[in-house]
Amino acid sequence: MNNYVDIWDRIHNKSVTIERPISSNNGWIYTAYYYKLNNTPLYLRSNQLIIAGKDCAKNLKRHPFNSKDDSPPISRDEVLGLAYLGFLKPQHLNGWNFSPYPIPKFNLIKTIQQFIELKGKHRNYLWQNNMNQTYRFAFSVPLQDRAFMLECFGETKSLRYMVYDIIAKLDAKFAKPKNGIHWLKYGGEHRKKIMQEEFPEDHPLRRI
């Protein structure tokens, strides 16, 4: 277990070493997988995890405290992980936006130009090259994730939850599960197997 755990008690999919103390950029989603599998309540988590989670949620960062400034901005995966673990709250989001960068006034022409330039590029290209008109889309929680996040926030009686829940149910039924996020949101043994296959054979998530 310790081979995959960083100093903040977050789980990674690659071995943690002295040279690579943060071995992935997806520690929060992988940690969420671990706690869902173990059905572990909040009070059993370590102080390090709680402090780190509050810091990342408050500042919408991938890594807490003294981590590198040049790491990629937080992703949808990490937002879902923080929400599931109970750290992310509605007040941390500007609407459904988790952009760490200022979003400029909408400009249709620039937006179209930037989307054309982004065609075929890796998703990191948009923030590495300040494609700022795309931020409102790239850093927005997808509709199919919002019911799950509202459940994490304890809001399941509102009209918006019912609307997002319909979209989520359609996603669960028709979208092909490609990673563990589907299992985190919807459960199911077949999705659990897909999630576990993301990790090495000696990883604790494969043994559970």
Tell me the per-residue pLDDT of 91-120, one tens digit each, with 9 for 90 and over. 999 889 999 899 999 999 999 999 999 999
State phi, psi for 21 to the nearest 5 degrees: -70, -25
Q: Residue 14 region, left (φ>0) first, then alpha (ψ -120 to 50), else beta?
A: beta
- At 36-72, the pLDDT tens digits run 998 876 666 788 999 999 999 999 999 987 655 557 8
* Helices and strands of the chain, counted as H and E runs: 11, 0
Q: Please spell the DSSP secondary structure of 129-153, one letter per residue.
A: TT-GGGHHHHTB--HHHHHHHHHHT
- Candidates 41, 47, 29, 56; CA nearest to 148 is 29
Is the pLDDT confidence value at 1 over 80? no
Secondary structure of residue 94 in the 3-state scheme: strand
Is the pLDDT confidence value at 169 over 90? yes
- pLDDT score recorded for residue 205: 92
Q: pTM, whole model, 2 decimals?
A: 0.91
Across all residues in the chain, what is the average pLDDT? 91
Are 104 and 133 a contacting pair, CB within 8 Å?
A: yes
- Candidates 155, 156, 208, 158; CA nearest to 183 is 208
- The 3-class secondary structure across 25-49, one letter per residue, is CCHHHHHHHHHHHHCCCHHHCCHHH
Please name every residue paired with 97 in a beta bridge, in sequence order, or none if there are none: 94, 140
